[in-house]
Structure 1
Amino acid sequence: MSSDKKSAFDSIVERERGLRRGLSAGQMTMIAIGGAVGTGLFLGSGFAIGFAGPGVLISYAIGALIALLLMGALAEMTVAHPTSGSFGAYAEHYIGPLAGFLVRYAYWSAYVLAVGTEVSAIAVYMKFWFPHVPGLYWVVGFSAALIVVNAMSVRAYGSIEYLFSSLKIAAIVAFIVLGAWFVWHAPADSGVGVANYTSHGGWLPKGWWGVWVGTIVSLFSYLGLETIAVAAAEAQDPQRAVTRAFRATIVRLVLFYLLTLALMLAIVPWTEAGGNESPFVKVMAETGVPYAAGAINFIVLVAALSAMNSQLYITTRMMFSLSRAGYAPAAFGRLTRQGVPTAALSLSTIGIAVSAVLNALWPQTAFTLMMSIAMFGAMFTWLMIFVTQIFFRVKNTGEPLKFRMWGFPFTSVLGALLMLGILAGTAFTREFRMTLAYGVAFLVVLTIVYLLWYRRRHEVAAATNAAQ
């Protein structure tokens, strides 16, 4: 990288300075797992199975391929430039200020709404024990607790997220072991076994279109992997932590998702999957193991809390980055003595408020509605990560990189095309029609806001920096 390019990006890093480097490599890995193993797996997988049947395994394999490509592209840029603005800062520097503005706000809005999906799921899980208590009570109570956690130091946040994620991993491993034992020892006439893959309409009962729709839900499940890149600015040793976390996370997640889904489909016919409770709980109820259903429901509750905790952290840091870039009020870029941007945290709880209203008015559909509108910003961000990485590599031709994306440019182009196809596919899917309708309107509004209010301001700031 030339000295001019390096100094230009150094100015971005400098304006985002102040966050504490308190996260270890192990905590970085757990933060990524905490963000990606949550409602998408424990509740969203039920919706995916309903769309694709046993073909959901293909759906999640396609999602895993995209996630693997994304992790490679993001690792390359993050090792070179660890900063809280992450892919938003990379888009700003390598594509242009408008791109950075759109990516940051799209991602921030996606995770603000994703927090709402997690807390909506919490209301669903609590009905297992308290079926007559309104979900609104659980939304408010658990949200307040996690807001307090995020207002503490990043070290406290990392420790709590490490504990949450460790519980989830232990539970998933136990689920895989118990599920495999149950399938292996099930009597021939029990209705349990691999015959369930084809005995209810065949391997692809909803056809290849069902598989493609299932892929949309699978991406919602994998979303959160990219949190490592945002957290890199607060890692004790960014290069080591990011490289280790990327490699460990992708292997664990692919194994967790594909193995658990394969066992789920073998134990419970896909026709019984649904979104009114976690399919994990249904499977544990089928095993007949005492208290197994209640225990796994507790774990999926912890998983939702963990993902929500991680998402509050990410939205707060992205709003902090927007403020330091001059794209949001300066108050959101201020830090407490513990290095926490509490004003940005407060703003990032909007999704909780939206979820509370939806759970009060439409408790049966709150989760699916929140998921459909949250997905656009995240999928747009994934698309732009691939595009940005192509610009990054083109502008750094011949420069030594400490981590290189394999198969470039074919892998990056493949990732971008797959993301474009999935985004376009939402327009033809009844359950996700709101995704693209909301997303396109949102991007148009953001572009107008940038052109009217921020373009001139950015040009003036750039000219001032150049003069200095």
Structure 2
Amino acid sequence: MNEGTGLRRELSGRQVGMIALGGAIGTGLFLGSGLAISLAGPAVVVVYAVAAVVALALAYALAEMTAVHPEAGGFGAISHRYLGPLAGFVQRWLYIVAQVVNIGSEVVAAGLYVQFWWPDVPLWAPVVGFSVLILTVNTLSVRFFGEFEYWFAMIKVATIVVFIGIGVYFLLFGFAGHPSPGLSAVTGHGGFLPNGLGAAWLALSVVTFSYMGTEAVTLTAAESRDPERDVPRAARSMVLRLGLFYVLGTAVLVLVVPWTEAAGTEGITQSPFVRLFEYAGIPAAAGVMNFVVLTAALSAMNTNLYLSSRMAHSLAIVGHAPRSLLKISSRGVPTRSLAVCALGLVLAVLASVFSPQQAFPLLIGAALFSGLMAWIIIFATHVAFRRARDREGAPPSPIRLPGAPATSVLAAVMLVAVLVTTGFTDQFFVAWLAGPPFLVLLVLAYLPVRRRAAARAAEPAT
């Protein structure tokens, strides 16, 4: 039991590691990579590598701070401690909104994947079914949630490993009826950087969004059996695995399929993953890939619901959310926080009835803005954390971000530049329509919340 929160320390080391990895690998790699390729061409490999450096710096910074402060609320609670209650309040609510919206978008995506097999099924039916399933999983014990997520994330990981293995073999030896393309996919069709450096930079805003979820590692600390050991270990494993899966995976992708074809936007049947599996003689490759992206969507939805509910619970602990969200079930689950964060599922059901194409673009923009702002605040917190620890002469954390605090400052500056760039992309410009007004609204909302929290703290104990 985590004293003071009611949460139970039931997540094993392998579950913490897979939750963190599963949160960072979503449908963005299987399907969303096509959008990045359409902008950067084969140079998308370099773009993914650059974004990976920022994401891995984030993972190390978070692990360093969480190993010292393994408490409920993860990075939001640490921001509260080192940057003040306003920063902690704004960051946590930004993150909750981003995750709630992502929950809705993932379950709608899962419903669309079901329509690949049964196109006549109304979208709302699988959306409702998957919503009930994931809510049920999250209301059971955290140990059951961890095991469920472990195996869902394992499907994604196994698929990427198989894809890379088949791709390397194909590039070296080819398959029957399909000779190895060599380097023709990179040297032809305009070369390695067909659309110029500007287009590659625009792709960085798309690719950075794919790494959202890296921060999940810290939010498991309050329910990990041994956070001082498991969180740093999970962060270290992500360094190797993210680099392998994203960078090597996209490298194989653009070497096997010309980027002009890999950038197709016609869904599962046009996925470069499907093309390679078909070359390898895997029957029903499109159906197999559809199952994989379905589990990827459900995995992301499952993790996002877990993360947002724990963040909402941590806000209630410090008085920045209604006290009712402190309620913990007999299984150690913050059920009322879970119910609030399930709002994304309600939005998804409504959107699936009234047209997801019109209901979600503005919300997705707000989610992107909120997610990037949360990352920027994490790096700012790490700078303050290092300064405070050095000033106090405190012993170093068991895991440290190399080159910090300079590393944190550079990463934050890059994220600010990426955030500004989103305003110049057709896909994410809506982030600037929804994000800044929401940020201002949060700052204004903090004033009455602070007064209420102070009044609650002054109440005599009963």
1:416 equivalent to 2:412? Answer yes
Report the Cα offset of residue 367 of structure 1: 7.0
Distance of aligned partners of 1:351 and 1:51 in 2 relative to their CA distance in 1, 3 Å threshold: farther
Q: Which residue of 1 aligns with 2:194?
A: 205
Report the Cα offset of residue 190 of structure 1: 5.8
Counterpart of 1:50 (choices 11, 28, 38) is 38
1:439 equivalent to 2:435? Answer yes
1:217 equivalent to 2:206? Answer yes
Counterpart of 1:455 (choices 443, 450, 455) is 450
String of CA shifts for 1:59-79, please: whole Å, max 9, x gaps.
211110101111121111100
Bigger drift between 111-120 and 188-197 goes to: 188-197
String of CA shifts for 1:132-183, please: whole Å, max 9, x gaps.
3233222211121011000000000011111112222222111111222223
Report the Cα offset of residue 415 of structure 1: 0.9
CA–CA distance in structure 1, aligned partners of residues 379 and 330 of structure 2: 36
The size of the alignment, in residue pairs, is 452
**Residue pairs, 1:15-26, within 5 angstroms:** 15=4, 17-26=5-14
Report the Cα offset of residue 112 of structure 1: 0.6
CA–CA distance in structure 2, aligned partners of residues 82 and 31 of structure 1: 16
CA–CA distance in structure 1, aligned partners of residues 170 and 457 of structure 2: 63
Bigger drift between 175-184 and 364-373 goes to: 364-373
1:353 equivalent to 2:349? Answer no
CA–CA distance in structure 2, aligned partners of residues 302 and 444 of structure 1: 36
Give the share of equivalent positions with the same residue, in percent: 45
Counterpart of 2:336 (choices 331, 343, 355) is 343
CA–CA distance in structure 1, aligned partners of residues 206 and 19 of structure 2: 21
Paired amino acid for 1:323:
A
CA–CA distance in structure 2, aligned partners of residues 67 and 302 of structure 1: 23
Bigger drift between 112-121 and 385-394 goes to: 112-121
CA–CA distance in structure 2, aligned partners of residues 371 and 53 of structure 1: 25
Counterpart of 1:252 (choices 241, 258, 264) is 241
Q: Which residue of 2 aligns with 1:150?
A: 138
1:374 equivalent to 2:367? Answer yes
Bigger drift between 254-263 and 207-216 goes to: 207-216
Report the Cα offset of residue 282 of structure 1: 4.3
Gaps of 5+ in 2: none
**Residue pairs, 1:297-376, within 5 angstroms:** 297-363=290-356, 371-376=364-369
Helix, strand or coil: the match of 1:127?
helix
String of CA shifts for 1:362-417, please: whole Å, max 9, x gaps.
45577766543321111111100000111111122121122322112210111111
Q: Which residue of 2 aligns with 1:3?
A: none
Q: Which residue of 1 aligns with 2:59?
A: 71
Q: Is the 8 A contact 1:120 1:366 kept in 2?
A: no
Q: Which residue of 2 aligns with 1:172?
A: 160
Counterpart of 1:277 (choices 267, 271, 277) is 267
CA–CA distance in structure 1, aligned partners of residues 343 and 458 of structure 2: 35
Q: Which residue of 2 aligns with 1:196?
A: 185
Bigger drift between 197-206 and 323-332 goes to: 197-206
Distance of aligned partners of 1:214 and 1:230 in 2 relative to their CA distance in 1, 3 Å threshold: same
Q: Which residue of 1 aligns with 2:28?
A: 40
Distance of aligned partners of 1:121 and 1:284 in 2 relative to their CA distance in 1, 3 Å threshold: farther
Helix, strand or coil: the match of 1:41?
helix
String of CA shifts for 1:232-266, please: whole Å, max 9, x gaps.
11000110001110000221111001121112212
Report the Cα offset of residue 430 of structure 1: 2.1
Paired amino acid for 1:448:
L
Counterpart of 1:227 (choices 216, 223, 229) is 216
Distance of aligned partners of 1:168 and 1:383 in 2 relative to their CA distance in 1, 3 Å threshold: same
Distance of aligned partners of 1:460 and 1:366 in 2 relative to their CA distance in 1, 3 Å threshold: closer
Q: Which residue of 2 aligns with 1:401?
A: 396
Q: Is the 8 A contact 2:10 2:143 kept in 1?
A: yes
CA–CA distance in structure 2, aligned partners of residues 122 and 30 of structure 1: 21
Bigger drift between 186-195 and 226-235 goes to: 186-195
Distance of aligned partners of 1:196 and 1:306 in 2 relative to their CA distance in 1, 3 Å threshold: same
1:262 equivalent to 2:258? Answer no
CA–CA distance in structure 2, aligned partners of residues 142 and 131 of structure 1: 17
Q: Is the 8 A contact 2:178 2:279 kept in 1?
A: no
Report the Cα offset of residue 446 of structure 1: 0.7
Q: Is the 8 A contact 1:40 1:217 kept in 2?
A: no
CA–CA distance in structure 1, aligned partners of residues 326 and 81 of structure 2: 20
Counterpart of 2:89 (choices 87, 94, 101) is 101
CA–CA distance in structure 1, aligned partners of residues 199 and 359 of structure 2: 23
Q: Is the 8 A contact 1:135 1:363 kept in 2?
A: no
Q: Which residue of 1 aligns with 2:174?
A: 186
Q: Is the 8 A contact 1:268 1:286 kept in 2?
A: no
Counterpart of 1:236 (choices 213, 220, 225) is 225
String of CA shifts for 1:279-306, please: whole Å, max 9, x gaps.
2234434544322332222122111111
Gaps of 5+ in 1: 1-12
TM-score (norm 2): 0.92
CA–CA distance in structure 2, aligned partners of residues 364 and 289 of structure 1: 33
Q: Is the 8 A contact 1:28 1:228 kept in 2?
A: yes
CA–CA distance in structure 1, aligned partners of residues 341 and 124 of structure 2: 19
Paired amino acid for 2:369:
F
CA–CA distance in structure 1, aligned partners of residues 289 and 98 of structure 2: 28
| Aligned alpha-carbon RMSD (Å) | 2.3
Report the Cα offset of residue 356 of structure 1: 3.0
CA–CA distance in structure 2, aligned partners of residues 292 and 230 of structure 1: 36
**Residue pairs, 1:110-125, within 5 angstroms:** 110-125=98-113
Paired amino acid for 2:264:
G
String of CA shifts for 1:339-369, please: whole Å, max 9, x gaps.
1011111111222222333333445577766
Paired amino acid for 1:389:
H
Helix, strand or coil: the match of 1:236?
coil
String of CA shifts for 1:158-215, please: whole Å, max 9, x gaps.
1111111222222211111122222333389868443112322221222222212221
Q: Which residue of 2 aligns with 1:8?
A: none
Counterpart of 1:428 (choices 424, 429, 453) is 424
CA–CA distance in structure 1, aligned partners of residues 102 and 278 of structure 2: 28
